[in-house]
A and B are shown apart, each in its own frame.
Chain A
């Protein structure tokens, strides 16, 4: 693990914590008090490391007044204790932070919800209702001969996705193994050049993809279809697509659930996953649900293994109670059911707490600015920059170690919670 307390020269093999791909081949150097990505950076990585200004104030605040960490922690503990129903949300942290959040939620009877849970739920509901057949990045890179990208363009959220999965001189199974790419829904952004060869764009609205997947399943099953088209495209196009999918030796369909932002989008994703299962009767085809940004899969994984439940779980009754609808942060704050918010956000200073009148404690990346000054603000370090840590990659299999790139007085989320526990 690259762990150097102070960055005097460029460090290679740096793992980037700023999206779920967790690229671990970056070269990062210090530049003018901040950090600059010298090699293998994408837009997200460059911005993420650059915002790591070493001069960000590390001083905690109570109602805007500078205080020490123990004072801030004591006030946070008091607010948690006094609340009838605390809510710990955001949860953008690493494994150690998630472990600490789990302990604190258990002790304070809090409800947990991650900032990305609305999107993650679209996949989770499918997993819980019917399951799926999935794959991981290295399998795609070596095996895929057909890659469908459903919904959005993927690269806005996961900039190096194609480079990591398709940018290959050779694969395990052949030197110039080609992979065809088909976008279903929105195409790639203008000016974006794919590393792969053949690329087709089947343009349609993401809200209508459910219709498309239904038709594809029916075609695959050999059912009669009276409609002349689906999702705004002629039936012939879908017929061609299903034939192409059947010919794939190792097909993959990738999507980012965040792009399926419409009511009951889980049914569309479920239809897609069932289509992939159907294809496996004769060939191999896999799903690649993309996520993992802001530590969403990390937080989910840790709480899941400790308690049996991932996000949107309440510890108010001394047992974990899981309810995907009632325990969303938006609902709890909107209805007044939660009377205190602890917001955890250690990757992006822009991910600030939702606007709320309830007392708010923020464990936020140093340099975070607020519309409404929170009751307590404890600036925290960023995993992979200010302290070591671990994150789950998009495929929920690989857990990568994050290094420390600079010396800092900023506590980690885990450190800050230990301080709060000491005062609880």
Chain B
């Protein structure tokens, strides 16, 4: 089957195509070069006047795993306002802040997304995370495995064990739990909270192990680098949400010591202490640091106003913020000498000074960061806002008039504390395609998604070129997954099951005996039962299969 997508305006930054009118050819789920004249084209789509991009990639979205299911259980009132009816093709589910996996997959696809990456997979909870991702239709998926507060690693560090042993452990975990990257959340801090430490600065010692967050960042970024895992260490820094945390964040960037580092939801880590309320924007300092540090990337974690729920591994921060819960309920959980999680429902209000300034800070970072290849578009779903707000966020970036109108509605004191109104930058379609396609694929080390060159998977989104960019990005005309139309005019027309993406770095199997002994002595399950087989993964994912991406060494 040879398909031709004819005459669309193509935005494909990975191949330096900026809005040129081009034909695309698809065969057997992939993009191919122009056919020979004698080859028969089975179907042609006339895309004249349409905007064509690769399927979008969300590189940081909490779509699966224990904390999300706690959030779902906690919020029946939120689901009731957004029930998703079954159709002949799709199943009943519920959406909004903590949507069901079925609604998650349908809605991501309906917005033109074809791959989503869950950023906080706890090793002991990896099976659940993969089961949930497996039940998320249409989109491809993958997970970053969370380390850094697990007692096994902290013991190795406290005993000053060799980096090679730590690398073996990190590689074993990635193999056993099928991750595509490593995430660290409040390095050492989730463990410190179990010892009743309520804060842990970058150079503050864990009360039991004596290691600091900087130490954890150093060994984990080295491990990721030395194992050749393409995705840099994915870092949720210390002191999330704390006024003045900009210094911690800048220190964290430096703590990578020149190795690649990804700072996630950086908006929540870009706060100063100026002004009467001792809360101010430090976006300019953060953007300057990112701009000047080529080894650093970030995603923004933009907040948008309305009801959502925050779900994080950072128990220390979530407990600290539990008093702000709305509705007034929260869950904090210590987990298996491995990690933790906290779930706090939250309603961001434009008339609230802090929330209004958070909104402005996120947008300032987007507009001040000079290299779109190193800034990714996220709301840290659902922490800043549900992912369904992405089209609105894209319009805020692309449409200065719209942005400034929204700014006018904000709390007046917050308005006075932001330079946003003076920032004239408007993102182009080419830049949006970098943020949401080309750059995420590149930083994940996935060669065949996020672009439209020959050999790429035929995951393609076709938009009508509407001046209202929110409308345009809400309802693509076509979404192709592996060369098949799965969405037409913003509605699912075919349900497929996307693949899992993962890496399998090599390691010395000597670590396995040590892990078995550790699990038998201290844990309440066997190490062998932590390991998920490929057969299990395939069953979890409805047979869609696993794609292992190469490590660099």
Q: How large is the interface on B (under 10, 10 to 19, 20 to 34, 35 or more residues)?
A: 35 or more
Q: Is the CB of A100 closer than 8 A to any CB of chain B?
A: no
Can you list 15 A-B contacts (CB < 8 A)?
A: A24-B525, A24-B526, A106-B91, A132-B331, A138-B338, A138-B523, A139-B337, A170-B522, A172-B337, A249-B196, A306-B100, A319-B86, A395-B335, A396-B70, A399-B127
Q: Mark A1-24, 1 if CB is under 8 A from B, else 0.
A: 100000000000101000000001
- Complex CA distance for A393 and B332, rounded to whole angstroms: 18
**In-complex Cβ contact of A137 among B91, B99, B332, B524 (8 A):** B524
Indicate if the CB atoms of A308 and B93 lie closer than 8 Å.
yes
Indicate if the CB atoms of A309 and B337 lie closer than 8 Å.
no
B534 to chain A, nearest CB (A): 12
Q: Mark A95-128, 1 if CB is under 8 A from B, else 0.
A: 1100100110010000000000000000010011
Indicate if the CB atoms of A139 and B334 lie closer than 8 Å.
yes
Q: Is the CB of B159 closer than 8 A to any CB of chain A?
A: no
- Find residues 313-340 in chain B having any chain A CB closer than 8 Å to their own CB: 319, 325, 328-338
Closest residue of B by beta carbon distance from A12: B526
A256 to chain B, nearest CB (A): 17
- Complex CA distance for A393 and B343, rounded to whole angstroms: 20
Indicate if the CB atoms of B73 and A310 lie closer than 8 Å.
yes
- Complex CA distance for A141 and B196, rounded to whole angstroms: 17
Contacts of A306 in B (CB 8 A): 91, 93, 100-102, 135
Indicate if the CB atoms of B76 and A322 lie closer than 8 Å.
yes
**In-complex Cβ contact of A13 among B84, B132, B196, B529 (8 A):** B529
Indicate if the CB atoms of B529 and A141 lie closer than 8 Å.
no
- Complex CA distance for A96 and B523, rounded to whole angstroms: 26
Q: Mark B216-237, 1 if CB is under 8 A from A, else 0.
A: 0000000000000000000000
Contacts of A128 in B (CB 8 A): 73-76, 329
- Find residues 58-109 in chain B having any chain A CB closer than 8 Å to their own CB: 64, 66, 68-70, 72-76, 79-80, 83-86, 91-95, 98-103
Contacts of A127 in B (CB 8 A): 70, 73-74, 329, 331
Known A-B contacts A131-B329, A304-B72; the reply to A401 vs B529 at CB < 8 A is yes
- Complex CA distance for A259 and B79, rounded to whole angstroms: 31
Q: Is the CB of A198 closer than 8 A to any CB of chain B?
A: no
Among A58-66, A280-288, A329-337, A338-346, the stretch in contact with B: A280-288
Q: Is the CB of B533 closer than 8 A to any CB of chain A?
A: yes
Closest residue of A by beta carbon distance from B193: A284
Contacts of A304 in B (CB 8 A): 69, 72-73, 100
A237 to chain B, nearest CB (A): 27
Q: Mark A382-411, 1 if CB is under 8 A from B, else 0.
A: 000000001011011111110000000000
4 more A-B residue pairs beyond the given contacts A138-B523, A250-B194, A398-B336, with a C-beta to C-beta distance below 8 A? A131-B330, A139-B336, A284-B193, A320-B100
Contacts of B95 in A (CB 8 A): 308
Q: Is the CB of A164 closer than 8 A to any CB of chain B?
A: yes
Indicate if the CB atoms of B526 and A13 lie closer than 8 Å.
yes
- B residues whose Cβ falls under 8 Å from a Cβ of A: 64, 66, 68-70, 72-76, 79-80, 83-86, 91-95, 98-103, 122, 124-125, 127-128, 131-132, 135, 151, 155, 193-196, 208, 319, 325, 328-338, 343, 521-526, 528-529, 533, 536, 539
Closest residue of B by beta carbon distance from A310: B73
**In-complex Cβ contact of A319 among B83, B127, B196 (8 A):** B83
Contacts of B69 in A (CB 8 A): 301, 304-305, 396
Q: Is the CB of A348 closer than 8 A to any CB of chain B?
A: no
- Complex CA distance for A286 and B196, rounded to whole angstroms: 12
B135 to chain A, nearest CB (A): 6
Q: Is the CB of A355 closer than 8 A to any CB of chain B?
A: no
Indicate if the CB atoms of B93 and A307 lie closer than 8 Å.
yes
Contacts of A51 in B (CB 8 A): none
Known A-B contacts A128-B74, A301-B128, A306-B102; the reply to A320 vs B329 at CB < 8 A is no
- Complex CA distance for A90 and B405, rounded to whole angstroms: 55
Contacts of A170 in B (CB 8 A): 521-522
**In-complex Cβ contact of B337 among A13, A138, A318, A322 (8 A):** A138
- Complex CA distance for A164 and B526, rounded to whole angstroms: 13
Closest residue of B by beta carbon distance from A301: B69
Indicate if the CB atoms of B64 and A143 lie closer than 8 Å.
no
Indicate if the CB atoms of B336 and A319 lie closer than 8 Å.
no
- Complex CA distance for A300 and B72, rounded to whole angstroms: 11
Q: Is the CB of A262 closer than 8 A to any CB of chain B?
A: no
Contacts of B331 in A (CB 8 A): 127, 131-134
Contacts of B195 in A (CB 8 A): 284
Closest residue of B by beta carbon distance from A123: B73
- Complex CA distance for A103 and B90, rounded to whole angstroms: 10
A-side binding surface: helix, strand, loop or mixed?
Answer: mixed
A246 to chain B, nearest CB (A): 12
Known A-B contacts A106-B86, A139-B337, A318-B85; the reply to A129 vs B319 at CB < 8 A is no
- Find residues 135-165 in chain A having any chain B CB closer than 8 Å to their own CB: 135-139, 141-143, 164-165
Indicate if the CB atoms of A172 and B73 lie closer than 8 Å.
no
Contacts of A138 in B (CB 8 A): 336-338, 522-525
A270 to chain B, nearest CB (A): 11
- Complex CA distance for A310 and B73, rounded to whole angstroms: 7
Q: Is the CB of A261 closer than 8 A to any CB of chain B?
A: no
Indicate if the CB atoms of A397 and B124 lie closer than 8 Å.
yes
Closest residue of B by beta carbon distance from A134: B333
Closest residue of B by beta carbon distance from A284: B196
Indicate if the CB atoms of B334 and A136 lie closer than 8 Å.
yes
Closest residue of B by beta carbon distance from A286: B334
Known A-B contacts A95-B131, A318-B86, A401-B536; the reply to A136 vs B333 at CB < 8 A is yes
**In-complex Cβ contact of B94 among A102, A143, A249, A320 (8 A):** A320
Contacts of B523 in A (CB 8 A): 138, 141
Q: Is the CB of A193 closer than 8 A to any CB of chain B?
A: no
B124 to chain A, nearest CB (A): 6
- Complex CA distance for A304 and B332, rounded to whole angstroms: 19
Indicate if the CB atoms of B127 and A318 lie closer than 8 Å.
no
Contacts of B319 in A (CB 8 A): 133, 280
Contacts of B325 in A (CB 8 A): 131
B418 to chain A, nearest CB (A): 33
Indicate if the CB atoms of A130 and B333 lie closer than 8 Å.
no
Indicate if the CB atoms of A305 and B100 lie closer than 8 Å.
yes
Q: Is the CB of A192 closer than 8 A to any CB of chain B?
A: no
Contacts of B101 in A (CB 8 A): 305-306
Contacts of A102 in B (CB 8 A): 91
- Complex CA distance for A404 and B68, rounded to whole angstroms: 30
- Complex CA distance for A137 and B524, rounded to whole angstroms: 7
Indicate if the CB atoms of B66 and A396 lie closer than 8 Å.
yes
Q: Mark A219-237, 1 if CB is under 8 A from B, else 0.
A: 0000000000000000000
Indicate if the CB atoms of B124 and A141 lie closer than 8 Å.
no
- Complex CA distance for A128 and B333, rounded to whole angstroms: 15
- Complex CA distance for A129 and B529, rounded to whole angstroms: 35
Indicate if the CB atoms of B335 and A308 lie closer than 8 Å.
no
Indicate if the CB atoms of A399 and B131 lie closer than 8 Å.
yes
Q: Is the CB of A238 closer than 8 A to any CB of chain B?
A: no
A321 to chain B, nearest CB (A): 8
Indicate if the CB atoms of B525 and A398 lie closer than 8 Å.
yes
Indicate if the CB atoms of A320 and B93 lie closer than 8 Å.
yes
- Complex CA distance for A318 and B87, rounded to whole angstroms: 8
Contacts of A397 in B (CB 8 A): 66, 122, 124-125, 128, 333, 335-336
Known A-B contacts A286-B334, A319-B86; the reply to A164 vs B100 at CB < 8 A is no
- Find residues 45-75 in chain A having any chain B CB closer than 8 Å to their own CB: none
Contacts of B100 in A (CB 8 A): 304-308, 320
Indicate if the CB atoms of B334 and A307 lie closer than 8 Å.
no
- Complex CA distance for A96 and B538, rounded to whole angstroms: 13
